[in-house]
Amino acid sequence: MIEPVQLPSPWRDVRLTVVVPTYNEAGNLPTLVGRLLALPLPGLRILVADDNSPDGTGDVADKLAIEHPERIEVVHRAGKEGLGRAYVDGMGRALEGGAEYVAQMDADLSHPPEALPGMLGALLSTQASVVIGSRYVPGGELDENWPLYRRALSGWANLYVHTLLRVRIRDLTAGFKIWRADALRDIDLNRVQSNGYSFQVEMHYLATKLGHTILEVPIRFEERQEGASKMTTATKVESALMPFRLRSKHRNITN
């Protein structure tokens, strides 16, 4: 586990909301929340967007919110509508709640919470609109236990999207990011159509089309220890078709 960067004031005090979509993550959520709340970021808040998890993740989130009423909010959604819909809902609520910066990360502990202060410092010290915790820039790492087929799928997906969309980001499918609130408002979350993992690609594409600067910093991506991957055949099909839809739907968007 890396040691979190100690940011100077007032940087460490900014209003940062971490949006965490959940579906069957009851075993991981308490650990993730504990690590997030231990960060030297007193302005950090957590918004859990749960898709009515049958394993009781929503109840676990509610108990954590009762323990930390000023720092945790839980959104109970009607059912499993996909990662993209959960993020649009959660990020929209974060903006409505006054967040200056909005982070997104998975609940499965694959993204190291301790990297957030360094990512925030990189964002605040540049003119970037979003900073990505990247697996594929120099210094980035993949857990040795990450299955070979997942490595191949991730590498192929990035090459495929690069070829079709010409977006200059090495980790186009990354899900660990911090956004400036103004950038999210400019993108307009109502434009986003993706339901599954292609949400990540669509957000990067829109940011690029609108002229926003995207910064990548290296992280170590860990294999999940609890629960199962949510990647399904339907999400793979959506991800394969999404680049063509994006080029058509957003072709007239300019900065």
Model confidence at 245, pLDDT cuts 50, 70, 90, reads low
In degrees, rounded to 5, the angle at the alpha carbon of residue 149 between the alpha carbons of residues 169 and 80 is 75
The fold adopted by the segment(s) 16-250 is Spore Coat Polysaccharide Biosynthesis Protein SpsA; Chain A (3.90.550)
Q: Higher model confidence: residue 82 or residue 16? A: 16
Q: State the alpha helices, DSSP H only, in 38-141.
A: 57-67, 83-96, 116-124
Q: Higher model confidence: residue 252 or residue 182? A: 182
Mean pLDDT of all residues in 11-19: 97
Report the SS3 class of residue 228. coil
Write down the pLDDT at residue 232.
55
When mean pLDDT is compared across 21-25, 62-66, 225-229, the lowest value belongs to 225-229
pLDDT, the chain, mean? 87
Write down the pLDDT at residue 119.
98
Show the tokens assigned to 57.
Answer: 């993740």
Nearest of 217, 201, 214, 212 to residue 165 by alpha carbon: 201
pLDDT tens figures, 101-137: 999 999 999 999 999 999 999 999 999 999 999 998 9
Mean pLDDT of all residues in 216-224: 89
Report the SS3 class of residue 211. coil
When mean pLDDT is compared across 33-47, 71-85, 86-100, 146-160, the lowest value belongs to 146-160
Residue 20: pLDDT above 80?
Answer: yes
Report the SS3 class of residue 177. strand
Could you tell me the pTM of the whole model?
0.88
Report the SS3 class of residue 94. helix
Q: Higher model confidence: residue 86 or residue 250? A: 86
